[in-house]
């Protein structure tokens, strides 16, 4: 008899991948805001994939791990790389930096793929992540773009984006422990709130708000809260693991 929870988890994985493909297409169409919104939605489905998988009575399979990593590669590797490399607005500002943007997009993608490959092969046995997981990295990139690319709450600043990309690429492959945000994790509630703020920040922006309008200011405030939530995971995550709040599961 087919385990329905495993089927639901596979559907969530498929939805994650489809949203990632949609994000790439939106970047190519010149609408980064929709692309960022789809990436945020993909993060939600990636989380549901894990929740549904843990409800399943059947053990996780290698196929499931590979499929999940492939979906993550599209949504949190390829799609963010396109966000970094492709610039159809503010072209006068970005054009001189285009070679650098493409090179850093390749670097980001390589780091994401290396991290996912290691996780699929070995690190899935741990009860925590080594390196920042790709969904959180993609969300951090969205924050950087909101402030320094689209809609540029502060200013269109390629160098600021590039510095963020370098940091995010390094933290994905650095052997630093980060917690999985599951039931019982002290970061679960803050990260759930961060997901809500991502939606509040990104959804109104799809309507090309006038600077200074109520919804624009709401999106800006939510983006600041999103920045705080992402920073909390990056800065507090390793301490959560090292203080024994997350215990390592023995290898099968």
Please list the alpha-helical segments (H only) found in the chain.
Answer: 4-28, 32-55, 62-73, 79-85, 91-94, 98-121, 134-148, 158-173, 188-205, 214-242
Q: Tens digit of pLDDT for each residue in 197-227?
A: 999 999 999 888 888 899 999 999 999 999 9
Tokens standing for residue 252: 């099968």
* 173 vs 225: CA distance, rounded Å: 26
- Specify the DSSP class assigned to residue 202: H
Q: Tens digit of pLDDT for each residue in 106-122?
A: 999 999 999 998 887 77
pLDDT score for 182: 77
Give, in degrees to the nearest 5, the angle at Cα 131 between 84 and 163: 35
pLDDT score for 61: 63
* 80 vs 24: CA distance, rounded Å: 8
pLDDT score for 249: 44
The overall longest dimension of the chain from CA atoms, in Å, is: 59
What are the two backbone dihedrals, phi and then psi, of residue 177, each rounded to the nearest 5 degrees? -75, 140
* 78 vs 19: CA distance, rounded Å: 12
Tokens standing for residue 174: 């650095």
Considering the entire predicted model, what is its pTM? 0.90
What is the CATH topology of the domain spanning 4-242?
1.20.120
pLDDT score for 252: 32
Tokens standing for residue 236: 């507090």
Distances (CA, A) of 228 to 38, 98, 198: 21, 29, 11
Q: Domains of the chain: which residue ranges?
A: 4-242
**Local confidence pLDDT in tens for the 252 residues of the chain:** 457 777 888 889 999 999 999 999 999 999 999 999 999 999 999 988 877 877 777 666 666 677 888 999 999 999 999 999 999 888 999 999 999 999 999 999 999 999 998 887 776 677 788 899 999 999 999 999 999 998 999 999 999 999 999 999 999 999 899 988 877 788 888 898 999 999 999 999 988 888 889 999 999 999 999 999 999 999 999 988 876 655 444 333
pLDDT score for 1: 44
Exposed (0-12), middle (13-18) or buried (19+): which is 71, by Cβ within 10 Å? buried
* 54 vs 65: CA distance, rounded Å: 13
Please report how many Cα atoms fall inside a 13 Å half-sphere around the Cα of residue 123, on the Cβ side.
21
Q: In 3D, which of 235, 223, 225 has the Cα closest to residue 132?
A: 235
């Amino acid at each position: 008899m087919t385990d329905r929870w495993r089927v639901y988890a596979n559907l969530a994985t498929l939805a994650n991948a489809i949203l990632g493909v949609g994000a790439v297409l939106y970047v190519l169409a010149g609408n980064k805001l929709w692309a960022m919104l789809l990436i945020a939605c993909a993060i939600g489905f990636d989380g549901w994939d894990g929740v549904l998988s843990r409800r399943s009575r059947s053990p996780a399979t290698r196929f499931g791990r590979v499929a999940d990593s492939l979906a993550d590669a599209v949504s949190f590797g390829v799609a963010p790389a396109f966000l970094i490399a492709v610039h159809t607005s503010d072209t006068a500002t970005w054009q001189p930096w285009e070679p650098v943007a493409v090179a850093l997009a390749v670097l980001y993608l390589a780091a994401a793929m290396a991290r996912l490959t290691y996780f699929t092969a070995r690190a899935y046995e741990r009860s925590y992540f080594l390196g920042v997981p790709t969904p959180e990295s993609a969300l951090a990139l969205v924050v950087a773009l909101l402030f320094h690319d689209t809609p540029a709450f502060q200013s269109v600043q390629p160098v600021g984006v590039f510095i963020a990309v370098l940091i995010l690429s390094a933290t994905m492959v650095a052997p630093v422990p980060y917690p999985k945000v599951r039931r019982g994790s002290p970061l679960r509630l803050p990260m759930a709130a961060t997901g809500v703020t991502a939606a509040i920040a990104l959804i109104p922006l799809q309507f090309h708000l006038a600077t200074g309008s109520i919804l624009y200011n709401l999106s800006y405030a939510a983006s600041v809260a999103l920045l705080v939530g992402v920073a909390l995971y990056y800065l507090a995550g390793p301490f959560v693991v090292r203080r024994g709040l997350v215990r390592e599961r023995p290898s099968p």
